Amino acid sequence: MTTPVNSLPPGLYIVATPIGNLGDLSPRAAEVLAAADVIAVEDSRVTAGLLRHIGTKRPMTPYHDHNAAEVRPRLIERMASEVVALVSDAGTPLISDPGYKLVREARAAGRHVVTVPGACAAVAALTLAGLPTDRFLFLGFLPPKEQARAEAIREVAAVRATLVLYESGPRLGACLAALAQMLGEREAAVCREITKKFEEAVTGTLGELATRYAEAPPKGEIVVVVAPPAPPAPASADDADAALTEALTRLPASKAAGEVAKALGLDRRELYARALALKG
């Protein structure tokens, strides 16, 4: 049985839990859960299984979208003298789960707030997808209705970053088809059952993946990772001359070169020399 840590100061502890493989629970997370005076949970049945795995029982209270406004003040009051742990059913709390208001209001009340990091499906999928990871945008779940989903995709279509989103099996085919229609044939990956026995990352273009899953929706937790848009083709000499010619009607050569350099991503000194030639 896990030995409780009695020296924890009171406050809010944001505890990441496994996304599939119970072996991914960190020793620190297990210690905090065993020491908690109360654990705020999405589903007590799920968390009870995790507590059995580490050999402990702790009081739990539901905390989710439907009761958060009512429960939050009581939890913040308890944080003054007790250890309150916040968990989600799987992964890191607050990532596509309720909780940020609890953190914000706990801080406003002067409570001690600690994070106990661990598994996160979005980050784990990025490591499996084989797509750029230097910049990424997490979208959570896209809207289920067609028009709202299309608008959400349109908003991020030009973002120069890898896109990461969650989706359910029954909606995956329609989601991929919408992404293909709005974003074109970008590379993508469908990652599912991460850390579990049947973990897989299926890669291809958005269109290929949409076809694959159109009639065969997969089971399990799913993360879709979409490559960023391809960089624009470099401006040609004719493009630069046309932009410089227009800019020179309004600006001196140095400022015209600076404006066009910024707009087209070209070298300012070369553009300045070309601007002088065009003026001459």
pLDDT at res. 29: 98
The answer to whether residue 263 is domain-embedded is yes
CA distance linking residue 44 with residue 61, whole number of Å:
8
CA distance linking residue 86 with residue 8, whole number of Å:
15
Say whether both 202 and 251 belong to one domain. no
The answer to whether residue 232 is domain-embedded is no
In this predicted structure, the answer to whether residue 218 has a pLDDT above a threshold of 60 is: yes
% residues pLDDT > 70 (the chain): 98
In this predicted structure, the answer to whether residue 174 has a pLDDT above a threshold of 50 is: yes
Instruction: For residue 238, name the pLDDT band (cuts at 50, 70, 90).
Output: confident
Q: pLDDT for 79-95, tens place per residue?
A: 999 999 999 999 999 99
pLDDT at res. 6: 55
Domain count along the chain: 3
Alpha helices in the chain (DSSP H): 27-35, 44-53, 68-78, 100-108, 121-129, 146-156, 169-183, 206-214, 237-248, 253-264, 268-279
Say whether both 257 and 206 belong to one domain. no
Instruction: For residue 147, name the pLDDT band (cuts at 50, 70, 90).
Output: very high
Angle at 179 between CA 121 and CA 64, to 5 degrees: 40
Say whether both 211 and 249 belong to one domain. no
The answer to whether residue 86 is domain-embedded is yes
CA distance linking residue 116 with residue 17, whole number of Å:
9
Reported pTM: 0.81
Per DSSP bridges, beta strands 187-192 and 136-141 are unpaired
Say whether both 156 and 222 belong to one domain. yes
Say whether both 18 and 111 belong to one domain. yes
DSSP 229-272: PPPPPPPPHHHHHHHHHHHHTTS-HHHHHHHHHHHHT--HHHHH
Say whether both 220 and 136 belong to one domain. yes
The answer to whether residue 82 is domain-embedded is yes
194, 125 contact by CB (below 8 A): yes
In this predicted structure, the answer to whether residue 189 has a pLDDT above a threshold of 50 is: yes
pLDDT at res. 246: 92
What are the residues whose beta carbons fall under 8 Å from the beta carbon of 84, sequence distance 6 or more?
10, 11, 12, 13, 36, 37, 38, 39, 40, 75, 78
From 116, 150, 167, the end of a domain falls on 116
Say whether both 164 and 127 belong to one domain. yes
Mean pLDDT for 168-174 is 96
What CATH number is given to the structural domain containing 106? Answer: 3.40.1010.10
> What residue type is assigned to position 228 of the chain?
P
Mean pLDDT for 140-145 is 95
From 116, 136, 152, the end of a domain falls on 116
The answer to whether residue 191 is domain-embedded is yes
Say whether both 157 and 213 belong to one domain. yes
Say whether both 74 and 138 belong to one domain. no
Say whether both 189 and 139 belong to one domain. yes
Higher pLDDT, residue 244 or 76 = 76
The answer to whether residue 143 is domain-embedded is yes
Nearest by Cα to 171 from 190, 154, 196, 195: 190
Say whether both 107 and 125 belong to one domain. no
In this predicted structure, the answer to whether residue 4 has a pLDDT above a threshold of 60 is: no
In this predicted structure, the answer to whether residue 2 has a pLDDT above a threshold of 60 is: no
CA distance linking residue 132 with residue 242, whole number of Å:
34
Domain carrying residue 111: 11-116
Say whether both 162 and 128 belong to one domain. yes
The answer to whether residue 6 is domain-embedded is no
In this predicted structure, the answer to whether residue 1 has a pLDDT above a threshold of 50 is: no
From 63, 98, 116, the end of a domain falls on 116
The answer to whether residue 148 is domain-embedded is yes
In this predicted structure, the answer to whether residue 7 has a pLDDT above a threshold of 90 is: no
